[in-house]
């Protein structure tokens, strides 16, 4: 399964990175930085519908999405269009992302940013803090409840938000039990990459009212965004639809208008 391959490769990457920068040194660097103020999750709360706009070159299901991939221009277009937050892929093998891309985008925008990767080691959370991330992604399919709780505690200590991603009811229950404040429901099944836009709507009914609820993946039109807003989503993470749009400002404006 592709998700298991992504996780295995993430473990290899973390292990290799530790030879370059030992974990104790990286942790000391991360802890020496000012504690974050959870601005990523704050940017998504209390609005009609917030939008996390994703910067990615490729995906396992779609292959190359943007051959040119002028990621600095894309990030600035999103900011100009009124994005609430940015999601930047750093997974290098299947998504063709990198930490360097994230760091470069961090230098040109002050928007809250999530490091979108497959977190399987605390080391990656320290990496995210050091590279200027405001949030990390934690995937329930890869982390049991106790590990989720441990990683959430670490994020809290560093002032990072954690977008805890669930795909089904049992994963949602695990996220809630671990204490997640920001829960994303992926409409794409990462095990076979099928998309069901109703997945977020179904699970919203099962989620606590007081969490920030993010609908992820599968948004292909303003009508899709409207349905998710009507189902109770506080925010949407939009990738391919915006990445393929020639006029990103117009595309995001259309999504926003549909969710008012």
Catalytic residue among 174, 187, 217, 240: 217
74 pLDDT exceeds 80? Answer: yes
Per the annotation, the verdict on 248 as an active-site residue is no
Per the annotation, the verdict on 171 as an active-site residue is no
Structure confidence by residue, pLDDT tens digits, 90-120: 999 999 999 999 999 999 999 999 999 999 9
Per the annotation, the verdict on 98 as an active-site residue is no
Per the annotation, the verdict on 56 as an active-site residue is yes
Structure confidence by residue, pLDDT tens digits, 228-246: 999 999 999 999 999 999 9
Per the annotation, the verdict on 186 as an active-site residue is yes
Can you list the domains of the chain with their CATH numbers? 2-258 (3.20.20.70)
36 — pLDDT class (breaks 50, 70, 90): very high
Tell me how many helices (H) and strands (E) the chain has.
12, 10
30 pLDDT exceeds 80? Answer: yes
2 — pLDDT class (breaks 50, 70, 90): confident
Per the annotation, the verdict on 127 as an active-site residue is no
Catalytic residue among 161, 174, 186, 187: 186
Catalytic residue among 41, 54, 91, 127: 54
Residue 222's Cβ-count burial label (10 Å; 0-12, 13-18, 19+) is middle
Residue whose pair of structure tokens reads 């803090």 in the numeric block: 129
Per the annotation, the verdict on 54 as an active-site residue is yes
Rounded to 5 degrees, what are φ and ψ at 133?
A: -70, 150
pLDDT recorded at residue 217: 84
For the chain, the average pLDDT equals 95
Catalytic residue among 41, 57, 116, 174: 116
**Higher-confidence position of 88 and 209:** 88
């Amino acid at each position: 399964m592709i998700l298991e391959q992504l996780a295995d490769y993430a473990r290899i990457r973390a292990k290799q990175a530790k030879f370059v920068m030992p974990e104790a040194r990286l942790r000391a660097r991360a802890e020496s930085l000012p504690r974050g103020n959870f601005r990523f999750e704050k940017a998504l709360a209390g609005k009609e519908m917030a939008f996390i706009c994703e910067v990615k070159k490729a995906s396992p299901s779609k292959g190359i999405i943007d051959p040119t991939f002028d990621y600095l221009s894309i990030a600035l277009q999103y900011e100009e269009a009124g994005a609430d937050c940015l999601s930047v892929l750093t997974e290098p093998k299947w998504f063709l992302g990198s930490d360097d891309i994230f760091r470069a985008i961090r230098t040109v925008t002050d928007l809250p940013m999530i490091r979108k990767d497959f977190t399987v080691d605390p080391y990656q959370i320290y990496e995210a803090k050091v590279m200027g991330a405001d949030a990390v992604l934690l995937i329930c399919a890869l982390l049991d409840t106790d590990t989720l709780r441990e990683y959430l505690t670490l994020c809290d200590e560093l002032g990072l938000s954690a977008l805890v991603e669930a795909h089904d009811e049992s994963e949602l229950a695990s996220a809630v039990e671990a204490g997640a404040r920001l829960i994303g429901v992926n409409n794409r099944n990462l095990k076979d990459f099928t998309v069901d836009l109703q997945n977020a709507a179904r699970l919203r009914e099962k989620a606590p009212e007081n969490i920030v609820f993010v609908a992820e993946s599968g948004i292909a039109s303003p009508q899709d965004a409207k349905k998710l807003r009507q189902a109770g989503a506080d925010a949407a993470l939009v990738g391919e639809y915006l990445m393929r749009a020639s006029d990103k400002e117009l595309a995001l404006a259309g999504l926003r208008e549909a969710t008012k």
